Amino acid sequence: MRALKLLFALSMASVISSLEYLDSTTISIQPITSSSILTPPVPLTDIKYNPSTLSASISSYETPDIEPSIRNLRIGVWDAATATWKSSTSVTSAESFAKGYRPTIVLSLDGKGGVLGVSLKSSVIDAGQTRDFGPKVLVRGVVKGRQPSLNKPVVLVEGKLEEPIVEKTMLQKYWWVLLGGVMLLMSTGGGE
């Protein structure tokens, strides 16, 4: 009975670890040159990710061998069967893969968990602070933006609402006419 429980626990652990990352994708790079149409993209890394938790891990990574004359690289998800980019691409400097830099691959996912785009940024490695020199991966999901709040009063001064202007009465508007009339009546002389 104990062996059966242990076997069940081990099988559940393997199922849970296999469900940790539901999707995977291969990120490719292509040198940008005058003949970049002739140069097909080469695989850079395989990434496993979970769209619901936005967690990811790099399953394989090959540091690209870049010629010194190449300055920029295109990065994205390449479909070799149709020879097209499946995601939006971004441009990164070839220096992002130089010694002393750690590349960070950023996956942007849509609402269904598909890869919308791939970008790459790199940071300088400080050997005194960290021993983690390998590449990293970040997963960003699409979030709903803020909606405008309509039909609400406009706040002008530090949280105080603008008070509505009260309509003046007839007396408040034309008091000066009445004052002029009273002055005219008092200054005119009476009869003998």
Q: What is the DSSP string of 62-124?
A: ------TT--EEEEEEEETTTTEESSB-EEEEGGGGSTTEEEEEEEEE-TTS-EEEEEEEEEE
| Domain positions in the chain | 20-140
Q: How many helices (H) and strands (E) does the chain have?
A: 3, 11
State the amino acid at position 26 in one-letter form. Answer: T
The set of residues, in sequence order, having a beta carbon less than 8 Å from that of 41 and lying 6+ positions away, is 28, 29, 30, 74, 76, 78
pLDDT of the residue at 191: 67
Residue 178: CB partners within 8 Å, gap ≥ 6? 171
pLDDT digits (tens, 9 = 90+) for 4-44: 555 555 555 444 444 576 888 999 999 888 766 677 888 99
Q: Identify each DSSP E strand in 32-71 by its residue range.
A: 42-50, 55-61
* Angle of CA points 165, 168, 169, to nearest 5°: 155
Residues near 91 by Cβ (< 8 Å), separated by ≥ 6? 32, 72, 73, 74, 75
Q: How far from chain centre, in Å, is Cα 49?
A: 17
pLDDT < 70 positions in the chain: 1-19, 21, 35-37, 127-132, 154-157, 159-162, 190-192
Q: Which pLDDT does position 15 carry in this prediction? A: 45
